[in-house]
Structure 1
Amino acid sequence: MVTRSSTAKPGSDPGLDDLGLHQRYLDPDATTIMQVFQYITTQESEDDEEQHALQRALTSARLLSDLETHPACIMVALLRALPWPRQESLAQKIPLDGEILLLARDLHRLDQVLVQIDHQESGKASDAERLEGIRKLLLTLVQDIRVVIIALAERVWLMRASASMETSLQHQLARQTLDLYTPLANRLGVWFLKWELEDLALRILEPDTYKLIAQKLAERFIQREAYIASVVTQLNDALIEHGIRGEVYGRPKHIYSIVKKMRSKNLIFDRVHDIRAVRVIVDTIPECYTVLGIVHQHWVPVVGEFDDYIARPKGNHYRSLHTAVHGPEDKIVEIQIRTHEMHRDSELGIASHWRYKEGAKADRSFEERVVWLRQMLDWQNEVAQARGNPIPPREETIFVFTPQGRVIDLPRGATPIDFAYQVHSELGHRCRGAKVDGQMVPLNQPLHNAQRVEIVTVRQGGPSRDWLNPAYGYLKTHRAQTKVRQWFKQQNWEEDVASGRALLEKWINRTGKTPPALEQLANHTGYSRVDDFLVALARNDISARQIEEILSPTPAAPHEISLLAPTSANTAPTNKGILVVGVSDIATVVAKCCKPVPPEPILGFVTRGRGISIHRANCRSLAALTTRQWQRLIPVTWGQQNMSAFATDLVVEAQDRQGLLRDISEAFTREKVNVTSVNTQSHGTQARMRFTVQIDGLEQLARILKALQGVTGVEVAYRA
């Protein structure tokens, strides 16, 4: 066994400079940082893997120092040279602050998830939706944004060290870097790491393209940075000369972004105008246009390369002035000009940089979390010299894996049954057990982030009614609850078909007449399927009187038909406030099958001895009755109403519970609706109620239906 090598100079005690940590903001924590460093470099190493871990730790610490992250990040990065159990031991031995151990523990959890992803991603093609789910999982998983920053720094080291790996492994790392890590770096605004990761990945996946663009740039990275620095200096001097205070900074366009722009806009290299880019941030909009004039006075603008996104913002409200000019040495430079407010909107608002670049579908709750993460990152940069306790993120969603590696998002508190229904309805119906990370768990046990969930099923079967009982806690999601209710409703359907058939046979036996075929009965009542007709019978949607009229049709009497002959050209009102065209002083009765309410369209049907029956124009029963007796129809309209209220039937389907009928009655009372009859049916946890109510018109009907929909447990309320 050999002792790990140290980077300290011989014959001297190592300091932060010896570690490459030159940032002075770390000085207050130098003693603790050096304690961690000395411990990890004096441990005996048994293999090359631990030497690689040490190099990863030192490189990551330097990168994080360059980003001026919180000192705790530097310490955790150094701790990562040790296996997880020894990290805990060292943190307690020194001792280190509790937040450092929490960061290390979160990073260890993240490691475990990434290993799981590596296995699941092996040999699979990229899928945008699945990758988006994994990115959200990684951000939601951690309790502190600094964990993601450390992971990104470690990924940079791994990509740098990948040159000695096999080609297939290099390609796998590069693809995963572009799929997962660079979008995360982009979303968190860690541009410094994002650019290097993208360029390293491109060099592995497309070495010829990388070399070609590098040659076309004809300058080294440092030279490009020096050129941008020169442009920034000249532009700063010009702004000072005109009395404008502003921030001017820039960066050269990286090779990956150049290739991406060439492909997305189908450009040749010479037409890419933002190879070198500078950004100017000022206080006001007028100053933006003043700076634009200064830029165009100082350098010659490129024709056709000016965009005013302040006057005409992009669809995502992105605002800025974009122009391209022939800068020093006649090299083209793109310049963006915006206010501080526009810059904040671009970074944190709906036009955030990651949304603008990636074009992902909007997700409000996740965007709010990214805003929080970005704000926390800025806070850490500002107070890097002070210790603070991170604010816990608001976690409303969890992300779990299927056995095939698909990421499923669920609300916090969701159960394995919710998971099953989210994957597929049939999987939920046949669910009988669940394994979480290989261990059997109760079906009502809440799931947590990054767990792998496997559902144990039976070949045939259905859900349990206990799943709908909130006291047992089986279901959290509305989707799962709806699917279970629909399954039981389908089972009740079959029962209702049998009940309807028995009821029809009872009526037929009572009349003693030979009935027509069931198909004919269904068509007469406006149903295309016999089962629909029988269910309507069972649920009282078709009355006994309607069936009796179909079974015992009465031929139209001559004196009744003569009512259709107009006695005058005028329209006369009846005693019910209904106008019968061409007929006066005739009795009318509101049909019980449909119970029309003004001002909906109506039609009259001439009956024997009961005057004219008034139906809704779209009444199914009326359509059935007039199939063979169309000559009994008579035009009618609503006249001046003498009736104070009209009767109509309402149906409420709900999840049965104690106090349901009371709450529904209170809804009727609030709307001042009189209930004249109630018919309730219960099937397990489902309740179906039919109310006959008196209302003064369709407006009141709409209000009461809306009120009923708002009652807890009510699934649907509608007019019969």
Structure 2
Amino acid sequence: MLRQYELVERVKEYDPDADEALLNRAYVYTVQKHGTQKRASGDPYFSHPVEVAGLMTDLKLDQETIITALLHDTVEDTLATIEDVEENFGKEVAQLVDGVTKLSKIEAMPEDERAAENLRKFLLAMSEDIRVLLVKLADRLHNMRTLHFIKSEDKRRRIARETMDIYAPLAERVGIYEYMREMQALAFEHLEPDAYATITGRLEQIRSTDGGQVDAIALAVKQSLAEAGLKVEVSGREKHPYSIWKKMAERHVSFEQITDIMAFRVITESEEDCYRALGVLHRTWQFIPGRFKDYISTPKNNGYRSLHTSLIYENSMRVEVQIRTREMHRTNEFGLAAHWAYKQGDRPDGQIAWLRDLIEIVDASHDAEELLEHTRLQVYQDRIFAFTPKGALFQLPKGSTPVDFAFAVHTDLGAQAVGAKINGRHMPLRTPLNNGDVVEIIKGKKAEPQLSWLSFVVTGKARAAIRRAVRLKERQEVTSIGRKLLDEIAARLPAKIGKKAIREGASRLHLEDEDDLYYAIGAHKLEDRDVMEALVPGSTADFPAAVEWAQQERAISIKGLTPGVGFLLGECCHPVPGDRIVGLRKPGEGVEVHAIDCLQLASGVDTDWLDLSWGKRSAGAIGRLRVTLYDRPGTLAEMAGIFAQNHANVINLKQAQQDHPFAHYEIDLDVKDLAHLTRIISALRASEAIAEAERV
């Protein structure tokens, strides 16, 4: 652990004007506040924030960031408050500490939700100040270094998975590759211990038997460049175990089939020397087509700049070579942090445009699982480069389509896309883009995102925006159904109701406004009786206990069952009174009742078949329909009107697909019997709003 004077000396080395007294006070403050707290390793707890602060000095960050690192756990784990921090160390430090501090313990949440909620808060906090991210990444890196001290294997795996899925990709996106590689290696060791042990064992074996081959290749590269008059530094290493394992998984090959496990780095004096060195290496050794990338002329989003190439060395050995200047190397290893040195006042906002996309995804994501999916999509994947017709450059994940491109340019452009030209030719919206494509998006005034786009878009931003738009449209459609159903409910009331009664009814049901009431009715979140009582209190006092026929008459009995034997209506065929039915009985289970033509009956060959029939008083069951509407205004309301006219209650409505000019729905209806369901299907088929209607 760093001693107090050692930490201060580190900061003073690169920032002679740093406030030594303030740094000392922060060190003492964290030691005092954490007191006798211990880590899982048995070390004093304050050793953790001190080590995190040390990592920040490696990045040569300003004194406010160093102090934040020292204090980042005090508010969460001690009696200290944000007000205390602000009083002692100023508003800026207090804001940074508040950004890094987890705002609440979320232990009751499921695993994915807990990770997603932390990520949500984290992204919102770091959008205010990127230094929050830098401290958090260092915090996670040090925690990963000591992860093996945690006794619970499940907890170790959970933290490792969160690191692999969230923090390592974030480190990559801000260009701190040193952190990314170490996080991946440590997480890999806990997530795939057998694979980690096998690969590290093989690397150790190669190291002991290759006779210093890495050093020999590095020397040969340096000599060939020196002979061409280039002054360079060359270093070589085996690739990291996780990198090798990932390549094995992607290519579906064994360790023996991986030929490029060695990587070399060439550091030159100038950008011009980078290209000269590349030419020398390509003349000296055969290069592998398709493996050359120029990130100097076209840097990555995180500012990474370098030339990448792969060569075939002696004995058909493949080696990767990265060529860069010393300044590029510093930026590449430490990314945004290299631009945030104490002496630079300008924030590198141009390099964190992707962060704004992440914040937009946070706002658009419906739940925790979606948020994790979208952010993983946003931070992972190799990149391609595509241009607008005016020459603006956009970086996208490999496999991106014109829809992804449109959303990358602007959310509104993506929402209005109806077609695309790629290099001047009209192409389908699902066409994968290639490096260098010029993409022109064709807009439509009344266009809107389509659910089918989710089958081919690859960016988190596009996926989140499409889902948000589809959910909004579905809500509008369900609200429209609810408005129609409310008219039918209101017709049963003893008095006419106006807008005031609807507003007051929504309030009694603890809903925000009339639209929420319509939506709740359309989505069948409310019983008709509850709505009637909310609209006109006391109106159902003299009603039968069940207002609707379904509640009055819903009582199903089955002939052919032994008295007391339970039964369940098949979810696959949704039999209703009037269908010819049979029962399947499995040992130790109840009886499943199926329609005689149910396709699932074929799976019941090893069970007892029972000849069943409906009881005399049976009425009320769930019938499932598949309905295809013409995708135009009013068709959904017309369908809802048909249900209302036929006294059929909508139990569930789901849009299965939207394929212009059609919209496909699956609908569960509460119906009396087969005759009732048949009348509804006939009425649907007679409507000009409906293309097809059939029973599922």
Alignment TM-score, normalising by the size of structure 2: 0.46
Q: Which has more radius of gyration? A: 1
Q: TM-score, normalised by structure 1?
A: 0.45
